[in-house]
Amino acid sequence: MLTIATLVSITLACVIASPAKIPRKATWNDFEGAWIGYDTGTGAFFYRISLTTNETGTCVVLPSDDEAWLYKVTVTSWDDQWNITLRFESIPNSGEKQFEMARVDGVGLTLRETNVRKPDRPREVQLVRESDMKQNIARAEDLAEKLK
């Protein structure tokens, strides 16, 4: 069975290989919902960000099998040019500090931590819509079954 990381990689490769389109203007509906992905530095940290209608949400980061970091997310800004900035506030006892991430060029929704001073490396995460990933997984499984 394929792992989520493998499927995310396949999906991202398909997106990269697709013909370039002139992007349309973004609406809040383009950002709202659940997004999943991995950090681009090591690929070890799994992120799930869920954004709601009122421009707030949650984030769960899984840095290992036995640890989770939980955050309350607030959208501090977004616009119709696909820019978005999120503030992450650590939920008590998760052991992490508050930080902000903003969209950068990349596949799907790529976010990079802001206001990071050298020598520290800013966090960067590449996200895809969770619903799209679930559809792609189901389709891939169906196609694999037909090959048996």
The whole-angstrom distance between residue 42's C-alpha and the CA centroid of its chain comes to 15
Q: Which residues of 81-109 are buried (b: 16+ CB within 10 A; e: fewer)?
A: eeebbbbbebeeeeeeeebbbbbeebebb
pTM assigned to the model: 0.78
Tell me the pLDDT of the chain (148 aa) as tens digits: 556 555 555 555 554 454 556 668 989 999 999 999 999 888 889 999 999 999 999 999 998 888 888 999 999 999 999 999 999 999 876 666 788 999 988 778 899 988 888 778 888 999 999 999 999 999 999 999 988 8
d(C-alpha 128, C-alpha 148), whole Å: 29
